[in-house]
């Protein structure tokens, strides 16, 4: 009786969230007495909201996230199989007498930035057609380009993961606009996996400047932490 009909549901007439509604106060209550209030009209309202709107949105979001996670995980697997072009590997002697050598990446733009050169690799020919860049390795003077399937797949999957992160962040900002850009303490404290997922989206977007600046190690670290902070979001759908 203390609330008029307009203040029962959590969603107002303009689509904004009503934190002072009866449903919001009862659901967010921390005492055992609030559980006794989950009866009659409130229970019926929750059931109707679940059947008419929340149920479809819930399984839709779960399906979209599962598909998005599969893309990101596949990109991580492809990244593990993708290797620096053999033409960029230099054998550096450690001990010539014992014939010990170590492999290092040549200090050339197409080698240091091989993540940005997904669509081509340098073709390595015999020494007759090569220019000597190092005493132990010779490279092609006439550089021919050809498609690398793993590089193409990695480029495509990383692009989809970045696009998905951008879209999710845009949707989140749109949801915040309904709350007048006020952080909903109850939602994010009781759902830390969502905070982790938002953090993973930011890490995914951070891969763009890392890749442009040829920071290969930073690129790999961001990708690894992004997938680790993204996976716990499955717990949200298992609650």
Which of the pair, 131 or 215, is modelled with greater confidence?
A: 215
The continuous run of DSSP H or E covering 19 comes out as none
What does the chain come to in residues?
239
pLDDT of residue 126: 36
Q: Which two tokens stand for residue 20?
A: 């002072």
Range with the largest mean pLDDT of 5-14, 80-89, 127-136, 181-190: 80-89
Which of the pair, 95 or 56, is modelled with greater confidence?
A: 56
pLDDT of residue 143: 46
Where residue 17 falls (left for φ over 0; alpha for ψ -120 to 50; beta otherwise) is beta
Which residues, at least 6 apart from 151, have a Cβ–Cβ distance to it below 8 Å?
A: 82, 117, 118, 119, 121
The answer to whether the beta carbons of residues 168 and 64 sit under 8 Å apart is no
pLDDT tens digits for range 123-167: 433 333 344 434 344 444 344 444 567 777 888 898 999 999 999
Strands (E), the chain: 89-95, 100-105, 130-134, 137-140
Which of the pair, 33 or 21, is modelled with greater confidence?
A: 21
Which of the pair, 102 or 189, is modelled with greater confidence?
A: 102
pLDDT tens digits for range 29-65: 665 555 555 566 667 777 777 787 778 888 888 999 9
**Is 218's pLDDT higher than 50?**
yes
Q: Which two tokens stand for residue 174?
A: 């749109």
Percent of the chain topping pLDDT 70: 57
Percent of the chain topping pLDDT 90: 18
pLDDT band at 185 (very low <50, low <70, confident <90, very high): low
- State the Cα–Cα distance between residues 41 and 32, nearest whole angstrom: 19
Distances from the Cα of 14 to the Cα of 17, 128, 187, angstroms: 9, 75, 21
pLDDT of residue 165: 94
Distances from the Cα of 159 to the Cα of 71, 168, 176, 207, 221, angstroms: 10, 14, 26, 10, 17
Domain locations along the chain: 5-39, 55-81+149-238, 86-140
């Amino acid at each position: 009786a203390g609330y008029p009909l307009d203040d029962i549901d959590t969603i107002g007439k303009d689509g904004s969230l009503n934190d002072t509604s009866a449903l919001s106060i009862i659901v967010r209550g921390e005492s055992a007495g609030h559980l006794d209030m989950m009866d009659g009209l409130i229970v019926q309202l929750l059931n109707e909201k679940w059947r008419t709107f929340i149920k479809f949105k819930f399984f839709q979001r779960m399906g979209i996230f599962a598909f998005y996670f599969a893309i990101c995980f596949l990109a991580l697997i492809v990244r593990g199989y993708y290797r620096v072009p053999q033409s960029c590997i230099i054998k550096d002697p450690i001990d010539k007498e014992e014939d010990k050598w170590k492999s290092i990446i040549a200090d050339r733009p197409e080698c240091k930035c091989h993540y940005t050169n997904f669509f081509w690799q340098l073709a390595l020919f015999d020494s007759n057609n090569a220019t000597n860049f190092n005493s132990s390795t010779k490279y092609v003077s006439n550089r021919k380009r050809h498609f690398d399937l793993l590089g193409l797949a990695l480029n495509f999957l990383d692009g989809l993961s970045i696009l998905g992160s951008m879209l999710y962040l845009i949707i989140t900002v749109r949801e915040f606009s309904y709350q007048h850009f006020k952080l909903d303490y109850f939602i994010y404290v009781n759902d830390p996996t969502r905070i982790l997922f938002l953090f993973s989206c930011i890490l995914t977007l951070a891969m763009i400047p890392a890749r442009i600046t040829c920071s290969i190690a930073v690129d790999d670290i961001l990708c690894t932490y992004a997938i680790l902070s993204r996976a716990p979001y499955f717990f949200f759908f298992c609650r």
